[in-house]
Structure 1
Amino acid sequence: METKRIDRTRRSQFLIPTTVLLGSILATYYASLFSANINKEQFETRFQALANQTTLLIQEKLDRYPLLLKTTRGLVLNHLNDVEKHWPLYFEQAALNFEANGIIGITYTRYVPQRNRQMFVDIQRKTYGPDFRIFPDTLREDAFVLMQAAPDTITQKVRGFDIGSESNRRFAAERAKNSSSLALSEPISLLPTDQQSLDYLFLLPVESPDPNDPYTPLFHGWVTIGFSLSMLLEETLQKIDPLIHVEAVDERIGQKPLYDSHPSEKADPHLLPFRLKQTLELSHQRIDLYYTPLNAFASTDILYRHDLSILIGGSLIGTLGAFACFLMLGGRARALRQAEVMTRLSRDSNSRYQALFESSPEAIILSVDNRIILANSSAVGLLGACGIEQLIGLNVLDIASDSNRTSADELMKSLQQSKHDKLPPIEEQLVRLDGSTFDAELSLSRTTYDNASAIQLMFRDISDIKKRRNAAKIAKKVLEHTTEAIMVTDNNARIILTNPAFTALTGFTDKQALDQKTSLLKSGHHDINFYKQLWRDLLHTGQWIGEIANRKRSGEVYIQKTNISAVYDKDGDISHFVCVMSDITEQKRTFDTIRFQALHDNLTKLPNRIHFEARAEKALSRASLAGSHFAILFIDLDDFKPINDSFGHLLGDKLLVALADKLSAALRPSDMVSRIGGDEFLVLADELTHLDEARLLAERLMHMISTPVEIDGIELRVSASIGISIYPSQGDSIDSLIHAADQAMYSAKKQGKNQVAIASQDTTQLIPR
């Protein structure tokens, strides 16, 4: 018996220490894994912050370029004829730090057509000396001649250089000229160095209004900024951390890096998962930056899956513990101490989890057997609980809405039975303790807590997101199905969105319109002042409503009712414009027809009395302010009734139309003739330089009317009696002037017809034939 007991003791002396050793190694393994993950997360956060900071610093400098180009363009436009005098003074006062901003040079380049080339060279030689020339010689007709540069030290070297001789610069310059907007070249070489350099040219066209053609501006050339992106990157990395590996990719060229901060240093494969992509934007062009940490940047710990210090130390401690257990197998005190150590390790593990659990911005709940055993502060707040004690012990299905309770239960059961530890995120409606509901994005995963199998629910409120998403869907449907044409542009008037009604109205498809300027629809009907006023009103008030004559893709010009509204970003700056348009051409035609009929005689198409009096009132206002004169002539045809009686009203009407045409043709553009009924006409003789003009005009009209007119093969002859009143001698109102002219006409008719009479305040003066 004793021998058997000794054998069992001996076996226990090996079995128990071995178990302790394996358990210690396993605990150490997971502790080292957890610690390594935390190290990696901290490293990744730090690395991402450095990458973000680098990108923001470079983007901040790039964002200065458009403003700098626009101020330089203003300098050129203000001194087109003597820009060479003001250029160096401007940049001397500006005191720009070119190198700090990555700028190699700022230039003004003239556009020189072939027909003006020799004359241009001759003029420049008078200013810059006989050695001035355009170089290099090319077969191209037009030249893009660099004339001014900053800093001043490079001016003499580059003046006369034809930037169009290089394809990348030429294509960018033509793109800026054709679009009347900023353009960025493809990568070019600006720095004369053997070192790696990624350079670009940023161009802004210089245009001014053409006094002879308000629809087409005069094109003078370009102001440009040449900059080195590699210089910007190197300076920024030196300030932040030179141990970051940066590659720059311009997708217009391909995916091959055009810049590499450390071409000779190869990144450790363990660090490639930390590679980040950031994007720089300049004039609608994107340049991608790829960041990778170098070995010297990263601590050795993150290169491994486990924390080696914990793994080695824990293994050593476990070994020593096992050896001690072997030596003191029979001692109860050692057993109690070992139990205490394991309890502390478990408590520390739970404490670490609890810290991460509480700090999460996402709401997290742990449930065991569908009962909530733990919830973080985000979950307490989101579910409307006063404290965690209100949630502990609740059935986790109680936070699911009634309609989703069954599906939620099935979802949790499927997770427990699944071979996967987590399920993809889903959207569910959850219930707060007060019964109110909210939309949530919910993630479920299996875990353990205090050695018990548990389910972790992580969720966040997406009610606002869903509202915005639904609003966007509704807006899209409205946009697609509304009969109003809608066009959305960025703040540079470049089209970024249209609807089907826009295509139906203009004939331009989405593909044809997107990324084009709104001048795509320009008809040439409006002058440059119209558009300047439109933009002033729009930028000042945020809205412009009016009518624009635009052109469809077919070339047809139409009248467009236009409502443009500005859209503002969170900083209060205009980010977009929304334009709602409709074709009102037919309405305008109908309105113009009705308006014409209301203001004109149906037979002769001459202005009627209403139209005449409105025009005469304007003449009265001008004359009263200027102290000038105008006259009203009252014309009544003599013996017109016998023609109607003898030949019929149809022939009489034709005679009236013929006389109306003759009267209209005999007057100045500033004058007006009106038929006021029957065979009576009124004439407005505006802006008289002397009073005899009215008498001479009346006599000329009287003789013209008395000239025979042939209608349908019949020669007809009529005469006219004409009365004249002059402002202000014979009246100070239109009614009084017409009345005075009418009385003068009757006086002329009493004197034997075919006479001209001028009214006066007391008597009527008859002008003999």
Structure 2
Amino acid sequence: MDDKFFVGANKGLNILFTLITFALLLYASFYYSAQVAEQNNNRSAEAFRNIADQASGLLQEKIKPFPQLLRSTRGLVLGNADLQPSQWSAYVNSLSLNYESLGIIGLTYTESVFDYQLESYLEKREVMFPKFKIFPDGVREEYMVELYFAPEEISARVRGFDIAVEKHRRQAALLSRQTGLMTLTHPISLLPTDAHSLDYLLLIPVYEDSWHPDISLMAETDGQFKGWVTIGFSLTRLVQAVLEETNHPIRVRVFDNRLPDRAAYDSEPTQDDRTTAQNKVLKSIISLGDQPLTLHISPKAGSLYAEEAATYEQESLVLGTVTAPRPFGRGFQLLRQQPARGRIYASLHWQEPTVLRPLV
């Protein structure tokens, strides 16, 4: 009886020990797999942040020259009482601008002409540029006339264009004159062949030292205020240039807080926002004049960086769950050997029964 109890108790303890060992090994497998997955997720997130920082920094570098370019061009205008075409050409050539890479559509000097000045202004400009005219036709209180343009190949086509006919350009020009500050228009269209291009005009006022923003309109018309230097650029071209140069699967969206309902630009307009985890969206600000623009840089759908963060690393988890049952199986193998061991134990301790013989 004691032998059977001993064998049964050992069998129960072996089962318990085997189950505990199996549970511990299984837990260790899941824990290790989770740690590996976390390390992989962190490496992937860090790699994406580096890519996003690189793209954001490159875009910042491309627009960084714009304010200085406007100021130097204003200095050219103020340094010449009546800027001549040869002076403009020499200045533009000295800049050696890569218009495509910088996304620049045009650099201009735009003059302010009030209605009562129009006749004398046209006579003066026709001497310099035969057949000069302001277009589109129409009577306006003030004309904002593009006189010089770079690149010069298209100067003849745009010279005389009145930017005041388009409300966003007119509003930005007036605000720039009122404040004396660099001003960015609302999104406009500067590329007629690309209706989806996100374009802007950045303006800086040109005035003599004695002029200041709160001066009277009479002083403005007396020639102290001359006009504006402007840079028209395509943010679409800028972003596309950055994407080509970085050559990474990323999505870039540009948000203008004056357009609150949607992104002003999206390099992947068909991508569903819900497919991008918020912790994989890098946000940065670029400022042009008085207007901040917000960049959202995220992984492109289908790319390695767009994958959801894994809770467990599959390979290590599979390996762990495959190897964990081995001790479990070994334990049952030992248990199957218990009856044989019991028989051996019993045979070693078994004695012939003592038979009492009667006394004769």
Q: When the two structures are superposed, what TM-score results if normalisation uses the length of structure 2?
A: 0.82
Q: Are 2:92 and 1:87 equivalent residues in the alignment?
A: no
Distance 1:153 1:7 in 2: 100
Pair 1:288–1:300, CA change in 2 (3 A): closer
Distance 1:31 1:270 in 2: 27
CA deviation string 1:265-311 (max 9, x = no partner): 33564633322211112223211111222344435875322222222
Distance 1:114 1:231 in 2: 37
Distance 1:29 1:195 in 2: 54
> What's 2:75 paired with?
74
Pair 1:300–1:155, CA change in 2 (3 A): closer
Pair 1:269–1:218, CA change in 2 (3 A): same
- CA drift at 1:89: 2.1
> What's 2:109 paired with?
108
SS in structure 2 at match of 1:17: helix
SS in structure 2 at match of 1:278: strand
Unaligned runs of at least 5 residues, structure 2: 338-360
> What's 2:344 paired with?
none
Please identify the structure whose Cα radius of gyration is greater. Answer: 1
- CA drift at 1:201: 0.8
Matches within 5 A, 1:47-62: 47-62=48-63
> What's 1:254 paired with?
260
> What's 2:341 paired with?
none
8 Å Cα contact 2:276/2:299 also seen in 1? no
> What's 1:127 paired with?
128
8 Å Cα contact 1:267/1:294 also seen in 2? no
CA deviation string 1:516-538 (max 9, x = no partner): xxxxxxxxxxxxxxxxxxxxxxx
8 Å Cα contact 2:271/2:301 also seen in 1? no
Pair 1:13–1:137, CA change in 2 (3 A): farther
Distance 2:313 2:37 in 1: 5
Matches within 5 A, 1:433-472: none
- 1:231 alignment partner, one of 237, 240, 253: 237
8 Å Cα contact 1:54/1:236 also seen in 2? yes
Distance 1:73 1:260 in 2: 33
Unaligned runs of at least 5 residues, structure 1: 332-769
Matches within 5 A, 1:751-762: none
Matches within 5 A, 1:162-561: 162-194=162-194, 196-209=196-209, 218-266=224-272, 269=275, 271-298=277-304, 303-328=309-334
8 Å Cα contact 1:301/1:308 also seen in 2? no
**Count of residues in correspondence between the two structures:** 327
Higher strand share: 1
Pair 1:200–1:145, CA change in 2 (3 A): same
- CA drift at 1:40: 2.0
8 Å Cα contact 1:249/1:255 also seen in 2? no
8 Å Cα contact 1:275/1:292 also seen in 2? yes
SS in structure 1 at match of 2:230: strand
CA deviation string 1:601-620 (max 9, x = no partner): xxxxxxxxxxxxxxxxxxxx
CA deviation string 1:349-408 (max 9, x = no partner): xxxxxxxxxxxxxxxxxxxxxxxxxxxxxxxxxxxxxxxxxxxxxxxxxxxxxxxxxxxx
Distance 2:26 2:277 in 1: 27
Distance 1:240 1:205 in 2: 35
Distance 2:147 2:88 in 1: 11
Higher helix share: 2
SS in structure 2 at match of 1:111: strand
> What's 1:158 paired with?
158
8 Å Cα contact 2:48/2:305 also seen in 1? no
Return 187-196 or 153-162, whichever deviates more: 187-196
8 Å Cα contact 2:299/2:306 also seen in 1? no
- CA drift at 1:260: 0.6
Pair 1:279–1:329, CA change in 2 (3 A): farther
Pair 1:255–1:328, CA change in 2 (3 A): farther
Distance 1:249 1:113 in 2: 36
8 Å Cα contact 2:52/2:298 also seen in 1? no
Q: Give RMSD over aligned pairs.
A: 2.7
> What's 1:611 paired with?
none
> What's 2:343 paired with?
none
Pair 1:299–1:118, CA change in 2 (3 A): closer
8 Å Cα contact 2:11/2:335 also seen in 1? no
Distance 1:53 1:80 in 2: 44
- CA drift at 1:330: 9.6
Q: When the two structures are superposed, what TM-score results if normalisation uses the length of structure 1?
A: 0.40
RCO higher in structure (CA 8 A, sep ≥6): 2
Matches within 5 A, 1:522-671: none
SS in structure 2 at match of 1:100: helix
Distance 1:271 1:12 in 2: 49
CA deviation string 1:566-604 (max 9, x = no partner): xxxxxxxxxxxxxxxxxxxxxxxxxxxxxxxxxxxxxxx
SS in structure 1 at match of 2:102: coil
